[in-house]
Amino acid sequence: MNNSIDDTQHKFVSHSVVSEGELPFHCPPKDTQKWNMHPKVYIQFDKKGKGTCPYCGSRYELG
């Protein structure tokens, strides 16, 4: 997982690679600490295999 700062909103975001075996994929992932959770949302991936969580901005890529 790569972590970075989102320059437009100045918040900490993560970048994770998701395997096809993990689909359908949701954010927050199963291993997220309870204090760091938001409502579960299923990630929609675009034609390039990339998706972003609308709550926290975490970025996901099929790989």
For the chain, the domains span 18-62
CA dihedral for 46, 62, 59, 2, sign (positive or negative): negative
Q: In terms of residues, how long is the chain?
A: 63
Taking only the tens place, the pLDDT of each residue in 1-50 is 455 544 555 556 788 999 999 999 999 998 888 888 999 999 999 999 99
CA–CA separation, 40 vs 2, rounded Å?
21
Residue 5's pLDDT is what? Answer: 47
Coil/strand/helix, residue 1: coil
Residue 58's pLDDT is what? Answer: 94
